[in-house]
Amino acid sequence: MLVLLSIIKKAKSIFLWGIFSTVSLPFYVSAENNELVVRYNQFTLFANDSAQQYFSSLLKLALDETSHDFGPYLLSPVDIDMVQQRTISMLQANKVIDVLWTVTSNEREQTMQAVYIPLLKGLMGTRIFLIRKKEQYRFNNIKTMEDLYLLTAGQGDNWPDTQIIKENKLPVQTAKAELLYYMLAKKRFDYFPRAATEIQKEASQYPEFVIENNLMLNYLSPIYFFVNKDNPQLAVRIETGLLRAIENGRFDKLFRKANNIEHLSTQLNLTKRRVFKLENSIVSNKTKAIQHEAKFWLFQ
């Protein structure tokens, strides 16, 4: 009887594997109900953070859009508070999580499989300055890059943005991310370039700082979903779902509502600022190739 049960179980496993492989489902499937299990790191300290909720909602949207083709799924948050580089290492090792979202770089695309759809439609590379109160006068007469060279930016040690700032010869002071606000307050540097989607919240959290009125950096620096290189089927599913959501309008609806785009654009005067365009050589040719596809960007 035990031998017979073993044969039956083995045959069932082979049968199910055949079904999954023919429809190109990712390999990590729950044995109980054939659900695709997609694990992502949820930072417990930021469980109610709107940015984290936006990206997880966008992931859910992509999986919803493809349920008919790829089958049911279970989106499973993993509550582990890891620094970003540790999260990347876990995904590269194919442990604990199956997908993450982060700013791209050529190096990251070589070690992980990117889904080449910008999740913030370019706003991560739209950088506005957080500065100390009563220091707007120091920025009022900045008209050229040469003027900006006289001031020092603050950036995280391992951020891709830091490489971009350095590549464009802007003076920069680096430190661990959690120290940067303290260092700005202590005048270790002059301005802290922040993404347009995050600066208003940070200005309200740190009343000693204000948002600079006139200037903006802009460079190609999209946030992508990434999966392990050995899980290309999941990348295909997420890409398919995101493209469908772009075409039917659900992506843009979620993007605008979650990021309060109309309010953001008005409050930050995004179309009226002096823009310093920076080169970014650390992005791949694949990323450069999509920068002219209007459907992927808020501003062209």
Q: What confidence tens digit (pLDDT) does each residue in 150-201 have? A: 999 999 988 888 999 999 999 999 999 889 999 999 999 999 999 998 899 8
Looking at the structure, tell me whether residues 214 and 127 fall in a common domain. Answer: yes
Check whether residue 132 and residue 175 sit in a common domain.
Answer: yes
Neighbours of 193 (CB within 10 A): 24
Question: Is 129 found in the same domain as 212?
Answer: yes
In a domain, 90, yes or no: yes
73 contacts: CB under 8 Å, gap ≥ 6: 35, 36, 37, 38, 63, 67
Q: Are residues 88 and 226 in the same domain?
A: yes
CA distance 38 to 19: 19
Domain that residue 179 falls in: 123-218
Compute the C-alpha angle 277/278/280, nearest 5°: 140
Same domain, 31 and 114: yes
Segment 35-59, tens digit of pLDDT: 899 999 886 555 556 777 899 999 9
End-to-end Cα, the chain, rounded Å: 68
H runs (alpha helix) in 36-159: 50-65, 67-70, 84-92, 106-111, 145-148
Residue 143 sits in the same domain as residue 56: no
> Is the separation of the CB atoms in 202 and 164 below 8 Å?
no
Task: Write down which residue in 189, 218, 247 finishes a domain.
Answer: 218
Structural domains counted in the chain: 2
Examine the domain organization and report whether 32 and 115 are in the same domain.
yes
162 belongs to a structural domain: yes
pLDDT bucket at 241, cuts 50 / 70 / 90: very high
Residues 187 and 132 sit within 8 Å (Cβ to Cβ): yes
Residues 73 and 145 in one domain: no
Is residue 6 over pLDDT 70?
no
**Do 118 and 29 belong together in one domain?**
yes
Backbone φ, ψ for residue 70 (5° rounding): -105, -10
Q: Are residues 42 and 85 in the same domain?
A: yes
Residues 113 and 227 in one domain: yes
Q: Is residue 1 part of a domain?
A: no
The pTM assigned to this predicted structure is 0.80
